[in-house]
Structure 1
Amino acid sequence: MSLKSFAAKIFAKTTVRKISRWSSNPVKTQQKVFKKLIETAANTSFGKDHGFSEISSYHDFAKQVPIRDYEALKPYVEEVVKGQENILWPGKPLYFAKTSGTTSGAKYIPLTKDSMPSHLQGARNAMLCYINETGNADFVDGKMIFLQGSPEMTEKNGIQVGRLSGIVAHYVPNYLQKNRLPSWETNCIEDWEKKVDAIVEETRNQDMRMISGIPSWVQMYFEKLKVKTGKPVGELFPNFELFIYGGVNYEPYRAKFEALIGRKVPSIELFPASEGFFAFQDSQKEKGMLLQLNSGMFFEFVEADQFFEENPKRLTIGDVQLGVNYVLLVSTNAGLWAYNVGDTVQFTSVKPYRVIVSGRIKHFISAFGEHVIGKEVEQAINEAMETFGFSISEFTVAPQTSPPEGELPYHEWLIEFEDEPKHLDQIAKKLDASMQEQNSYYFDLIEGKILQPLKIKALPKDSFQKYMKSQGKLGGQNKVPRLSNDRKIADRL
């Protein structure tokens, strides 16, 4: 055992004890965070506008601070972007994480001196929990790769602007710098295809042990490695032993990954976003990710079925139930207040509080009142892959509301198979049966002959990559929506 891996195990044990202290006192932990947020921001413009100095309870807060998305918070953010101080949080932010919004154009999410630690500690703590639980720390002695956006930044009124993953790259601790790939120069390449080609050249002869990134883009890297070397990834990197991912569900990609690698590799799931690092997988034995209740973020939850009502009921951590689909709201030490992140979550455990990401509140299909969510289609595709033994590169689902005359409407599943299987009709039946079993609204629509069973459209290889490239969203943190309530993506594909 190396000195580095020995030290990692000691550090892991200490960190897990600290995590246990706050995770075993969830309500008290969140009350403490709430109190500090309100007190700290009382003299900001937002705090004065919303009477923070008079808030003495969560009930007051919920009454005085409405739920907002980025568009509703934008007037305050624009003041911050202009360089004004004490608008949403004391002083100025250190950075803006720039993201592309669907309705608001470019979004500028503030990152402050107070909020940065949560972005940095989440992934670190996930690895330390893994080390503590499994006793495996050998990966710290080899090379690690982080597939991420460019670390180069611009400046806007004295505030640095960049992609979240690129900003975080500036904070990789010194003890990991020697192990970290790709090089700074390669990370700065903007063209994603050229960047992945350069990463292949830099890493193909290295002792890669830990690889991190969004599954769809890591898959692209693995495919290029295999083409370039003619070897499975697991043979090329015999010590590769840990895959860390976030942003999308890994399960639809798992079979393809294991085929490219040639064996199974343990994985850790993260739940990062520009608005905060919300959760991380703390156990290989338990389902879900541990919600970061002590990291300067106060969480609220609204049942997804009620979210679009005029005054939906808002819940705090002590009120949530297992298996219910909730819209996630956060108030943070970066100056976001009752902010709708856009993600929906379900709790898999309340001792401690663990979640899975079930979808996006704006990514659903309810063209006929069926309320289909991401978790349902992902479970259906996973069951079908297990039954029929196929693997996929990517998929998305959209309604077909205007079928040929005489046909009932249906859901169209656009799937890019690794190798197109025979008997697509049987696979479609399996998918449809799973959807009916999971979703009673969908079942009723099929039974009532409002919808016909779903249909599969098999797409040629690289269809999704070509689509993302055409939208200027190839690589980085960009993801293909699993569900659309219209046919914009489906028709372009």
Structure 2
Amino acid sequence: MLNFIKKKIALIWAKNHVKETQTFKKNAVEDQEKLLLSLVKIAEKTLFGREHQFENIHTISDFQKNVPIADYEDLKPYIERVKKGQRNILWTETPEYFAKTSGTTSGSKYIPISKEGMPFQLNAARSALFHYIAQKNNSDFVSGKMIFLQGSPELEEINGIQTGRLSGIVAHHIPNYLQKNRLPSLKTNLIEDWETKVDEIVKETEKENMTLISGIPPWLIMYFEKLIERNGKKIKTLFPNLQLIITGGVNYEPYREKMEELLGGKVDIIQTFPASEGFFAFQDDFEKEGLLLLTNHGIFYEFIPLEDYGKQEAKRLTLKDIELNKDYALILTTNSGLWAYSIGDVVRFISKDPYRILVSGRTKHFTSAFGEHVIAFEVEEAMKATVEKFPAQITEFHLAPQVNPIQGLPYHEWFIEFEREPENLENFGKNLDEEMRKRNSYYDDLISGKILQPLIITSLKKNAFQDYAKSEGKLGGQNKIPRLANDRKIGDFLETLKR
């Protein structure tokens, strides 16, 4: 009876919530301008606000003239002052939290999350669930067990500011009504070694009535494989009431076939786009492609056409200026004190009513050793199209340029870990090259002009990418291996793991 009441209440809440969201979906452009000017007004007396003359900002154009695009290195001097306990630096108060992330050039990054910003992180996740419940007209999963594959919830303190991984911070804000249903145990969640942690999660969950599972696709796959290895059953057989999987962090599509095989039955998927800097979008219709951009969640968005990103006079666009099916570097201004911050993600709009996006890559993850500027979306779509034509299955892949081959022309080398290798790898490679040439005209020109030879595939042994992640101390949590590189740092390691 209690479960029936819980499900009924969840359904009512969900439908009411979805009705309330119609306003922001329709008024996104107007809401964004109001939000920016509100953030500027609030932070007018901060150190950053005084240095950038916030008192003279009355329009988006004023803001863009006064506040240049910044990356973490640009904001680091301010963040270091905040870490020392100074107030009124980037935002009116010290942050409630620092989300600690690993950076490639800056070492550890400390991303501020204000007391105003934290609720939006939580509300966005709740909104994603409510949209699903309302569309499905079913909330059965709330009565079962739920698991969130995440980092340790253990936090350290820096001058009174709680600091840790975002997923660990969020774990402290799970509503009481969900705590009884939530797995794994705190003891297991505190385990730092990822393989040991997953082994313990498997033991804790394999006999439970799991109805919702959340995590990034590579680590969901690792968890599912361990469950199958121990129990000899596909996931849907092991968890017959599993209804929903929530993913984020990377594009789900390249993992879909592998996930479906492991699941062995129908499970709904919701894709999300969270980060330490904010929760930007989620799939508001689980049956359609695209993620709803959250335009009233404390974040003002700007967009730079990818081909102009990094140029001195690159034009900064707002929602009213964007074009469909074009790639943009995502720039954020947040209610946690990030100002015109380049997060490094690339997005592509597929709808303006409402604004829906695809995450198409990273500004730093591309291959352009020969001027071709290949991005993640192109390689993922090319791989997807090729796999559909061949009886093959991909676990993971990475593309690196080979600029100085021992003989012959340079080429793109694709390091692929196959779950099921195609019968004819040569034909698979030819088709993949053709699909790439369709999607990137610069690459096509390089091939036809005999500057590059067609791509070459290096087939890797099982668990090669896990071995690479382990070697870098990045196994588990929200760590992701780049699909693309402009050098051979990852490629040279993977070369040692070929079949």
Normalising by structure 2, what TM-score?
0.98
> C-alpha distance in 2, partners of 1:147/1:286?
25
> C-alpha distance in 1, partners of 2:316/2:67?
12
Cross-structure match for 2:414: 413
**1:132 aligned counterpart, secondary structure:** helix
- Answering whether residue 213 of structure 2 is matched by residue 211 of structure 1, we say yes
CA offsets 1:391-446 (integer angstroms, 9 cap, x no match): 121111110111123x1111011011113232111111111111100111111111
State the one-letter code of the partner of 1:80. Answer: V
**2:64 aligned counterpart, secondary structure:** helix
Contact 1:126 1:281 in 2 (8 A): yes
Q: Unaligned regions of 5+ residues in structure 1, if any?
A: none
- 1:137-216 → structure 2 map (5 Å cutoff): 137-216=139-218
Cross-structure match for 2:309: 307
> C-alpha distance in 2, partners of 1:449/1:45?
55
CA offsets 1:129-173 (integer angstroms, 9 cap, x no match): 011112121111111110000000111111111000000000001
Cross-structure match for 2:294: 292
Cross-structure match for 1:111: 113
State the one-letter code of the partner of 2:300. Answer: F
Q: Which deviates more, 416-425 or 194-203? A: 416-425
- Answering whether residue 44 of structure 2 is matched by residue 58 of structure 1, we say no
- 1:34-433 → structure 2 map (5 Å cutoff): 34-405=36-407, 407-433=408-434
CA offsets 1:80-119 (integer angstroms, 9 cap, x no match): 1111101000111011000010000110000110000111
> C-alpha distance in 1, partners of 2:148/2:391?
30
Cross-structure match for 1:486: 487
> C-alpha distance in 1, partners of 2:183/2:431?
42
State the one-letter code of the partner of 2:434. Answer: A
**2:240 aligned counterpart, secondary structure:** coil
State the one-letter code of the partner of 1:352. Answer: P
> C-alpha distance in 2, partners of 1:317/1:469?
40
State the one-letter code of the partner of 1:443. Answer: D
**1:84 aligned counterpart, secondary structure:** coil
Cross-structure match for 1:438: 439
Q: Which deviates more, 107-116 or 411-420? A: 411-420
Give 1:466 shift: 0.8
- Answering whether residue 433 of structure 2 is matched by residue 466 of structure 1, we say no
**1:418 aligned counterpart, secondary structure:** strand
Contact 1:149 1:163 in 2 (8 A): yes
State the one-letter code of the partner of 1:210. Answer: L
> C-alpha distance in 1, partners of 2:355/2:287?
15
The counterpart of 1:25, out of the listed 27, 33, 42, is 27
CA offsets 1:21-55 (integer angstroms, 9 cap, x no match): 11111111111211210111001000000000110
State the one-letter code of the partner of 2:427. Answer: Q
Cross-structure match for 2:497: none
Contact 1:253 1:391 in 2 (8 A): no
Normalising by structure 1, what TM-score?
0.99
> C-alpha distance in 2, partners of 1:333/1:150?
26
Give 1:290 shift: 0.6
> C-alpha distance in 2, partners of 1:200/1:317?
44
**1:345 aligned counterpart, secondary structure:** strand
State the one-letter code of the partner of 1:410. Answer: Y
State the one-letter code of the partner of 1:472. Answer: G
Cross-structure match for 1:448: 449
Cross-structure match for 1:5: 7
Give 1:337 shift: 0.2
Give 1:241 shift: 1.3
**2:260 aligned counterpart, secondary structure:** helix
> C-alpha distance in 2, partners of 1:249/1:390?
19
> C-alpha distance in 1, partners of 2:348/2:396?
23
Contact 1:329 1:340 in 2 (8 A): yes
CA offsets 1:308-327 (integer angstroms, 9 cap, x no match): 21110001111111011000
> C-alpha distance in 1, partners of 2:21/2:33?
17
Backbone CA RMSD of aligned residues: 0.9
> C-alpha distance in 2, partners of 1:392/1:117?
38
